[in-house]
Structure 1
Amino acid sequence: MPATISNPRRILLVGPRRSGKLTFLKALTDSLPPNIPESHAGLSHELKLETQYYSADVGVWVDEMPEEDGDGDGKGEGEGEGEGEDVEKGRQKIAWSEGEPGNPTTEEKAPTTADMDEPVPLPTASFQASTPSSTPSSTPEHEPAPPTLKEWTSTYLSPLATEVLQALGCIILTYRCASPPIPLLRSLQKITTNTAFDGVCLAVSLAPQTSPEAAGDTCLHYGFEWVDFNSGRRGVRNEFGEPAGMDRVREALEANDWTSDPAEEREEAEGEGLEGIGGEMEREMAALRLALDAEEGDEGEGGEEDVEKLEAVMARLLMVKDMGDSVSKEERRRIAAKAVAELMKS
C-alpha cells in the first residue's frame, strides 16, 4: 500500500488573463472549484496523486501574472470551461499572512452562466503584500492601477513571501501566444533562483507554436520544461516514444518530491551534534579516516585501489564542506550522500 504524504508541497499555477489557467486545471484534475471568483487570483483547488510509492492530495494555488505591456500576450479566443479571465482593472491583494498566495480579500460571488462567457467587471482592490486594501473609488480615474510585472515579481521576492515559496513543489505557467512569453519566464526565473527552488517548473502552451523546437529551447533557458497542451490524446506518445501533453505533465508531477520540509525540522537537524552540515561532514570524514587506516594495513588484492577511492571521496567531502553558503544545505547533503553511496557500491 502506498504511503500517504501528509501536508505535501503545493502547486503554483500562474499565467496572464485569458492564458488558459482554468482550462489546464480542468484537464489536470477533471474538475473545477465549485465557486469561481471573478478574479482567479487566490483561487485554490486540489490534485489527487497516487503512484505505487505514495499518495498525496496536492493543493493548487492560482495567481494571475500581469502583462508586460498591458495589452496581453494571451490574445487567443475565450477560455472555455470557466476561463473568464477578462478584466485586470482591479486585483485581489496577496495576503501572505494567510499562508497562501493571492488570498482574495474582497467579497466573492459565484459566477453565473453569463460570467463564464462574457467579460465581467472586477471589483477594484489594491494589490499589496501586507496592508489592507483601500476603499475603491466610484470614479474610474481614481481606480488603483493594476500591478506591473515588475511589481508582481517584487512581491514574490519580498520577505513576506518566503514562507509561501518554501511550501511550493511545482510552478506551472500557462500561455496562449505563438511563442513562449519571455518576460514572464524571466520573472519566474528570478523567483526560482532567489529561493533556490528545487521543484518542477513547467511552461504549458495552449496555442500552436511558431516553432515547437524553439519554444522548448527558450523555456529550458529559463529553467522550465515546455509542454504542448494540445499534443495528442491521452495515452498517445510522441515520435520519441515519450509521454506528451497532459500525460507528460502528470508524469512530471508524479515523479516530483512532494514531501514538505518544515522549518522547525530543519532547525532541529542543524542544531544537532556538530551543528548542521559542517558536523555531518566531520562525522563522514572521521568514519572514512578510520576505514582508510584499516585499509593501509590490508595487503589483500585491490587494497591500494580501495585506498585511492577512499581518498577521492574524502576530497569530495572536504570540497562540499568548503562550499559554505555558496551552495544550499540541501544541495551539499545531496552531494555528500552521493559520494558516500558511490563508495559503498564499489
Structure 2
Amino acid sequence: MDIKRPRRILLLGAPDTGVLELLTSLCGSSPAPVDNSTAGLSHIWAIKTNYYTADLPIWIDEISSLDEWTTEFSKTEAREVITSLGAWIYCFRRPVTQEDFESVKATIKAIQTVIEKAAGYGWDGTCLAVVTPQSITPYLDKPYDEWDDVCREFGFEYIDSEAKGRNEFGEPAGVERLQEAIEATDWNGDDDLDFGDFDDPDEEIDFSSTFAAEEAEMGSELLGLKSSIAHGGDGGQLEDEELQVEGLEKMMSQLQAIKDTSSAMPEAERKRFANTAVNELLKSL
C-alpha cells in the first residue's frame, strides 16, 4: 500500500542537540542548517516496509526557551499543526548535571501537555525521547530503568541513540529501534491540510512525480501553519493572511520556474536539480 498523504513527524530539541546527525543516521541525509539554526527546516524520509510505502514529511523545530515554546504551541492556532502529526521525536544531549536532567523531564512533560490540549487523550501517534551523545565528560550517569520510567510517565518511549544490537529481551536497540517504532506507526492521514486554494486556478502545477515536489508542498504547509501560530488572534489577521497568500504565490511561481528549467533534463539529473533548487527555496522561507 502506498500512503499518499501521510501524517508528519516533528523532530525537535534544544539548539545543538544533534537532531540533524540523528536524521542522517535514519534517512542517510538531512537538510543544512540556516544561520546555524535547525528551526523551520523540513525533510522527507522515504520508508518502505512489507506493508506500506510512504514519503514521511519531517518538520524540524528548536526549543530555545521552553516557556516560549509551550506558550506558542498551546495556542488554538497550533492545533492544526499538532493534529497533523503522527510522531514526535524529542532529542536531548546526555545530561551533565541534575539540573539538565530536570530540564529534560520538564520538556517531555510540556510536550505531553500541548499534545493533550490540542488533540485530547485519543491521539494515537508515537512519542519518542532520544538521547544523543554528550561531548562533555563526565556526564550524569542515569540507569536505563530510570530514564524509561520518566519517559513512560509522560507517554514517551526512551531510546538511547548510541545503543547497539539488541537488549536483554532480544529487541532492537538504538537507531534501529527508533526506525522500528516509526515504521510501526499508523501514518494514514487525511486531506485537510490543503493549500491548493492559493494556486493559479487557470494552471495546475503537478510536482507529484518528483521527490522535490513533496518537500515543496510540505514547505508551503509549514510556512502557513507556523505563520498561523505566530500571528494568531484577531489583530492584524487579515494583513497576515494577505502576506501569507502573497508569499505562497511567489513560491509557486518560483517552483514553476524550477519545473520549466528541469523539464528537458534526463530523469535522474532532473530530480537532483529539483531537489537542490527546492531546498534552496525552502531555506529562504
TM-score range, shorter chain: 0.5 to 0.7
In structure 2, how many angstroms separate the alpha carbons of the residues matched to 1:171 and 1:188?
Answer: 9
Q: Does 1:201 align with 2:130?
A: no
Q: Which residue of 2 aligns with 1:169?
A: 86
Q: Percent identity between the aligned chains?
A: 39
Deviations 1:4-62 (A, max 9, x none): 101100100010011111111111111112x4312210010111111111100001110
In structure 1, how many angstroms separate the alpha carbons of the residues matched to 2:33 and 2:15?
Answer: 15
Q: Helix, strand or coil: the match of 1:231?
A: coil
Deviations 1:157-207 (A, max 9, x none): 211112111210000000013347111111101112112332000000114
The one-letter code matched in structure 1 to 2:159 is V
Matches within 5 A, 1:19-30: 19-30=17-28
Deviations 1:287-320 (A, max 9, x none): xxxxxxxxxxxxxxxxxxxxxxxxxxxxxxxxxx
Q: Helix, strand or coil: the match of 1:32?
A: coil
Deviations 1:242-301 (A, max 9, x none): 01001111111111100113459xxxxxxxxxxxxxxxxxxxxxxxxxxxxxxxxxxxxx
Q: Helix, strand or coil: the match of 1:187?
A: helix
The one-letter code matched in structure 1 to 2:60 is V
The structural deviation recorded for 1:151 is: 2.1
In structure 2, how many angstroms separate the alpha carbons of the residues matched to 1:263 and 1:61?
Answer: 17
| C-alpha contact (below 8 Å) 2:5/2:191 kept by paired residues | no
In structure 2, how many angstroms separate the alpha carbons of the residues matched to 1:9 and 1:245?
Answer: 23
| C-alpha contact (below 8 Å) 2:5/2:190 kept by paired residues | no
In structure 1, how many angstroms separate the alpha carbons of the residues matched to 2:10 and 2:72?
Answer: 15
Q: Helix, strand or coil: the match of 2:57?
A: strand
Equivalent position to 1:182, from 98, 101, 105: 105
In structure 1, stretches of 5+ residues that fail to align are 67-147, 265-346
Give the superposed CA RMSD. Answer: 1.7
In structure 2, how many angstroms separate the alpha carbons of the residues matched to 1:29 and 1:226?
Answer: 20
Q: Helix, strand or coil: the match of 1:155?
A: helix
Q: Which has the larger radius of gyration?
A: 1
Aligned pairs, how many?
177
In structure 2, stretches of 5+ residues that fail to align are 96-100, 134-138, 194-285
Q: Does 1:210 align with 2:207?
A: no
Q: Which residue of 2 aligns with 1:48?
A: 46
Matches within 5 A, 1:77-156: 148-156=65-73
Higher relative contact order (CA 8 A, sep 6+): 2
If the length of structure 2 is used for normalisation, what is the TM-score? 0.59
If the length of structure 1 is used for normalisation, what is the TM-score? 0.49
Structure 1 residues 53 and 41, CA gap change in structure 2 (3 angstroms): same
